[in-house]
Amino acid sequence: MAIKIVVDSCCDVTPQMKNDMNLSIAPLTLYVEDKTFVDDETLDIQDLLQSMKKSKKAAKTACPSPEEYMNLYKGEDSVFVVTLSSALSGSYNSAVLAKKMLLEEVGNKFIHVFDSLSACVGETLVSLKISELASNGLSETEIVQKVNDYIKEMKTLFLLENLDNLVKNGRINPVIAKIISVLNIRPIMGSTDEGTIQLVEKARGFKKAFTRLAEIIGEQGEQIEDKVLGIAHCNCFERALAFKEEALKRYNFKDIVIVEMRGVSTIYANDGGIVIAF
């Protein structure tokens, strides 16, 4: 079965992954005060980071339009779509509307839109799972069922070096953020079953938080030997590599992949941020 995987640009992948999975990306648009960035292969991450650092206002994002999605759905292949959590972005609703629009135009065609209930490398793992199942010869219906189960079981966690964007976006009270900074507290955040963000734990200092993040994998993960660990980093490859080494000491994952964050993930995680999913 020939398939195409369509994702929004919060799905962080390597060029090799993109080619191997026949993956097409619908870019979000990013706004930092008076500057506009398109989250595609032309985006300069360093320019985005510097603009965010200088800005006193929160960076904003706009999801791909239904028309952008619809153009990516066209063709003979069966289409599987993976989007940001619908609780965090309008990307899922835009993708679903695009499906309705295209089916009205062309009639019968297989298109299924998955709400990842996650973001960043969580979307990456969902896309990899779709590709794996299709390669194993599963039917469209079987893929949908197994991927829905996978999404329900998947855990997404993140550790941030910098809380500036969370303050600017109103996610954290500035006074609390100041206290956190003075006390050198690092929050470990994670996804909920509904696809929202919650505080998982707090640790004093980044090193302790880093170790605790690795420990939480063992507490929350099940059948780890059958799973892939995804690690996404924002401008901190060495840190991602160190986390991979820490995970290898503790667990026997089927595979571990490291990806670099693009624009949308960078806006939320900021410089030095790490996101993991498993």
User: If you average pLDDT over residues 59-85, what whole number do you get?
Assistant: 96
Phi-psi region at 117: left, alpha or beta (left = phi > 0; alpha = psi -120 to 50): left
Regarding whether 139 and 43 lie in a shared domain, the answer is yes
Strand segments (E) across the chain = 3-8, 23-26, 29-32, 35-38, 60-62, 78-83, 111-115, 156-159, 185-191, 197-204, 228-233, 255-260, 274-277
Regarding whether 130 and 164 lie in a shared domain, the answer is no
Domain final position from 106, 134, 151: 151
Locus of tokens 């624009």: 263
CB atoms within 10 A of CB 106: 10
Domain final position from 151, 168, 191: 151
Regarding whether 170 and 106 lie in a shared domain, the answer is no
User: If you average pLDDT over residues 227-254, what whole number do you get?
Assistant: 98
Domain final position from 94, 120, 151: 151
Regarding whether 47 and 115 lie in a shared domain, the answer is yes
Regarding whether 143 and 10 lie in a shared domain, the answer is yes
pLDDT digits (tens, 9 = 90+) for 89-113: 999 999 999 999 999 999 999 999 9
Regarding whether 206 and 129 lie in a shared domain, the answer is no
User: If you average pLDDT over residues 134-148, what whole number do you get?
Assistant: 97
Regarding whether 196 and 115 lie in a shared domain, the answer is no
Helix (H, G, I), strand (E, B) or coil at 83: strand
CB atoms within 10 A of CB 154: 19
Domain range for 124 is 3-151
Regarding whether 104 and 15 lie in a shared domain, the answer is yes
Q: Across the chain, what does the average pLDDT equal? A: 94
- Tell me the two tokens of residue 209: 């938080």
Specify the number of domains making up the chain: 2
pLDDT digits (tens, 9 = 90+) for 119-132: 999 999 999 999 99
pTM of the entire predicted model: 0.94
Regarding whether 121 and 215 lie in a shared domain, the answer is no
H-type helices in 172-271, by residue range? 174-182, 206-220, 237-250, 263-269
Angstrom distances, CA of residue 153 to CA of 163, 225, 227? 28, 14, 11
Regarding whether 64 and 27 lie in a shared domain, the answer is yes
CB contact at 8 A, 228 and 221: no
Give the chain's end-to-end CA distance (angstroms, integer). Answer: 27
Regarding whether 171 and 143 lie in a shared domain, the answer is no
Regarding whether 214 and 95 lie in a shared domain, the answer is no
pLDDT on residue 176:
66
**CATH code of residue 175:** 3.30.1180.10
User: If you average pLDDT over residues 255-260, what whole number do you get?
Assistant: 98
The C-alpha atoms of residue 71 and residue 60 are separated, in whole angstroms, by 24
Helix (H, G, I), strand (E, B) or coil at 154: coil
**CATH code of residue 42:** 3.40.50.10170
The C-alpha atoms of residue 168 and residue 180 are separated, in whole angstroms, by 15
